[in-house]
Structure 1
Amino acid sequence: MEIERKFLVNRLPENLESYPCLHIEQGYLCTEPVVRIRRQDDSYYLTYKSGGLMAREEYNLFLTAKAYEHLRKKTDGNLITKKRYCIPWEKWTVELDIFEGCFQGLVIAEVEFSSVEEANSFVPLPWFGEDVTWSSKYHNSVMSQADPDVYRRES
């Protein structure tokens, strides 16, 4: 079970370069249910996610690089590319996604929890912006099928 909250980001945290960073590329074979492939640095996964917003089932299977490349050609829509910074905060890790490619400029912070109660009691950090947990618009699977211009923020 994946239980997470998502927030747009008003400003990047200080010393961002001091945190671990993952380079992620992912594409979608299906969006209902969600079937995703992901390259995360030198690791490859096939993921199934059930429907839902804050809490949903998630299953990950390892892929080989060859299998990933084969499936990548079969993905639909936008390929999602992003840098993910893993920032420790109290007992959680903030996953700060800085999108690249067609979604460049979009920045989202996600925090995963062990229970719905814990998620509901979480107090966002000062640099977090709008809580978009309840908007499917910010699910990467939805973004893969969307017009990237919809996600451009006004300066």
Structure 2
Amino acid sequence: MIEIERKFLVNSTDFKKEAFRQTRIVQGFLNSHKERTIRVRLRENTGYLTVKGLSDQKGLTRFEWETEISKQDAENLLKLCEKGYIDKVRYEIKVGDHIFEVDEFFGDNEGLILAEVELKNTTETHKKPDWLGEEVTGDLKYYNSQLSKQPFNTWNQ
């Protein structure tokens, strides 16, 4: 139940040629407090309810609990979410022994592309593909819960 992941900016769309799966995701937040977030996600025709805890000091680890819910339940819960939502396509790319999840955002976050890789422990290493850019692990503005409230297209205003 402890999630260990690193997050990166993406510097090109070359990852799309390497993807073995892509999925449309819409998600909102029932609660986006920094100490706990409750996310509702609709991924294709399946819903998910996820609770995440406070990240460690480096932003590398945090508690995560997730359960599958019906599409109808997810659609109904999305109507109750805080203002702002996330609309993205997730690409999954195998790089060495890891799967990178690359999110291309749309709507108010259009133009932002982020990659995440989950690790087994905090010292585990991973291969870095050419399209992987600057690491932003722990930078709160790149958390989806924050992007729903302070979207990418408002950052320069």
Q: Tell me whether the two structures share a fold, i.e. TM-score over 0.5.
A: yes
Q: 1:151 to 1:54 in 2, by over 3 A?
A: farther
Contact 2:95–2:129 (8 Å) recurs in 1: no
1:103-138 deviation line (CA, Å, top 9, x unaligned): 1110001100111111xx335322111110020110
The equivalent of 2:6 in structure 1 is 5
Question: Could you tell me whether the CA contact under 8 Å between 2:49 and 2:66 is conserved in 1?
Answer: yes
1:126 counterpart residue number: 130
Tell me how far apart the structure 2 counterparts of residues 88 and 117 of structure 1 sit (CA, whole Å): 20
Q: How many correspondences in the alignment?
A: 150
Residue in 2 that maps onto 1:89: 95
Structure 1 residue 139 corresponds to structure 2 residue 135: no
Does the Cα contact within 8 Å between 1:103 and 1:151 map onto a contact in 2? no
CA distance in 1, matches of 2:91, 2:61: 22
1:41-93: per-residue Cα shift (whole Å, max 9, x none)?
11101000001021011101121122112211111122101000100011100
Residue 109 of structure 2: aligned partner: 103
Root-mean-square deviation (CA, aligned residues, Å) is: 1.7
Aligned to 1:112: 118
Measured at CA, do residues 63 and 125 of structure 1 come closer, stay the same or move farther in structure 2, by a change above 3 Å?
Answer: same
Is 2:50–2:67's contact at 8 Å kept on the other side of the alignment?
Answer: yes
**Equivalent residues of 2:8, 2:137 under 8 A apart:** yes
* Consecutive unaligned residues in structure 1, runs of 5 or more: none
Q: Which residue of 1 aligns with 2:84?
A: 78
Q: In the alignment, is the contact (CA less than 8 A) between 2:26 and 2:86 conserved in 1?
A: yes
Are the counterparts in 2 of residues 45 and 63 from structure 1 also a CA contact under 8 Å? yes
Code of the residue aligned with 2:91 in structure 1: it is: Y
What is the alpha-carbon distance in structure 1 between the residues aligned to residue 131 and residue 82 of structure 2? 33
Percent of matched pairs sharing the same residue: 34
Q: Please tell me whether the aligned partners of residues 11 and 127 of structure 1 are also in contact (alpha carbons under 8 angstroms).
A: yes
Q: Counterpart of 1:26?
A: 27
